[in-house]
Amino acid sequence: MTSAEQLLTTRAPKLRKALLSWYQKHQRDLPWRTAASPYRTVVSELMLQQTQVATVLPYFNRWVQRWPNFSALAQADADEVLAAWAGLGYYRRARLLHALAKEVSLLKVLPSTAQAWLQFTGVGPYTAAAIASISFKDPVAVVDGNVVRVLSRLAGLKTSFVSGAHAVKRVTPLANVLVDPREPGNYNQAIMELGSQVCRKAAPACTACPLKTFCASKGTQAIGIPKILRAKGRREIVHRVLALRDGKVLLRRHPKYARRLAGIAELPLAESLKFKPSLPAYAVRRRTVVQTTYEEHIHVPASQLKVVLSDGLIWVSLAELPFMAISGPHLRWLGEFVRRGKLV
């Protein structure tokens, strides 16, 4: 532990007080806070992984209205769950949440420690700490990208981290020392809120920060801390087919054993239909998944395709599209094509 980190630990009581006082006045009114429960915490934390709050809000509200607790979600059909998640991306989270609900619904008493929550399907250190600290006051720190940024700047860490996971591992001991033992849930939410709203990546609002007197990195010094090395991204071009027949569009549902998009439908790849484009694409769209940017060329066949419904191929009516488990970008693009009149 560096001298700056040691100084922070000695000033921990004052730091906690300043942070919690700020949070009490400035916290956002979010539905998983105003009506907190272990279930709502689990749902919100899984939805918020790699997804912004503004995007999550409507999904969260619809989700808890439809499935208000673990038992209700456990009884849901897997396809319904995936369809309700459509648009949030990273569909593995939906499957893990569904599996977790099935496990938890069998218990008479919910576990109260982060260590116990780690035993469940899909629950990692971050989610376990969030559930246990917010719902059961287990004094364990939640460490996400926001917390890494805040603590790295407070301690003036100028180390280059090889990855986000490496940065989390480095600051977790300090985070666990600083967490408020009496109000760990509020403290964890407060420091994440601070990172999101004040100690921002590119434009930190240092003058408005309640922890500025504790910070070793102020103003322009804070920008660039922490320094996390990113793997170089790659680009890939794919060709897809927008085939129409009797008011229906052709989709391909990924098999259940698929690693990333199991059970999710998308426009089929041209090669899977043995379709060779002879004209320019009707539309070109891009999306990034992890470190890969896909440039998707969407082609409309000049004549009707001969399609054998195998290997996950299905015809879906336009009325069914909003209720299908379709990948977010493809559902959005299909909606755009409908508005253009292409799918009428």
Query: From CA 8, how far away is CA 261, in angstroms rounded?
Result: 44
Is 296 an active-site residue? no
**Helix spans in 164-248 (H):** 164-178, 184-197
What is the Cα–Cα distance from 257 to 43, expressed in whole angstroms? 24
Residue with structure tokens 């799918």? 343
> Who's near 204: CB < 8 A, 6+ residues apart?
153, 198, 219, 222, 223
Backbone angles phi, psi at 109, to 5 degrees: -130, 130
Select from 155, 160, 195 the least CA-distant residue to 173: 155
The single residue of 5, 45, 193, 296 carrying the catalytic annotation is 45
Q: Which residues lie closer than 8 Å to 186 by C-beta, 6 or more apart? A: 20, 23, 180
Among 223, 222, 226, 202, which Cα is nearest to 214's? 222
**What positions carry a catalytic annotation?**
45
